[in-house]
Amino acid sequence: MSKLLLIMLMLTVWASAHALQIDEERSIRTLFESKHSVSRAVHAAAQQLNKEDLAEGRFTINAEAAYEKAMEYLRLNLLLDASGHPLPGSRLRQRVVLEDWAVINAGQPFPFTYRNSRYNYEVTLDRPGVVMIIAVSYPRLFSMMEPVVWHVKGTAELTGPMNTVYTSLSS
């Protein structure tokens, strides 16, 4: 009888450890999916050129179009609705929050160092670009454990001719 109880106890411990491992793997998969989604979103946003400036030979990002394109990519890749809540079929269970959004345009001297001390993020841009930080929450399998919250960061620069000088708009 004591061996049967020991076997039952060991099965419970093993099943709990296995569930924790699966939960950890799912959370890391969610983190990677979020990182890839942010990367795709900022790269799409950085390609939204300001057509008026482009006609004058200046490479600048259209901030409004960049924001719309980034949000579209984020929604499509993470399966979110317009307010950031997950749709059926999404890995996420809680709302994704846009923590920071910045368009660094030709009005800045390059190279430009973007700093955000709140999220301990620093990146140097050699040309116009966009920065995005989102908060992604992953609820744990066991309710006694706090949910994991990641601040996923991404940056992309405008691609274009390498010999172009990105200077301020006044020059």
**Buried b or exposed e, range 22-48, using 16+ CB within 10 angstroms:** ebeeebeebeebbeebbbbbbbbbbbb
What tens digit of pLDDT does each residue of 72-99 get? 999 999 999 999 899 998 888 889 999 9
Top-ranked range on mean pLDDT: pick from 16-30, 62-76, 139-153? 62-76
The rounded distance, in Å, linking the Cα atoms of 17 and 62 is 50
Q: How far apart are CA 152 and CA 132, in angstroms?
A: 8
Local confidence band at 169 (pLDDT 50, 70, 90 cut-offs):
very low
- Read off the pLDDT of residues 25-71 as tens digits, 9 standing for 90 and up: 888 888 999 999 999 999 999 999 988 888 888 888 999 999 999 99
Q: What integer best gives the mean pLDDT of the chain?
A: 87
Alpha-carbon distance of 67 to 100, in angstroms, equals: 11
Q: What is the pLDDT of residue 142?
A: 72
pTM of the model: 0.82
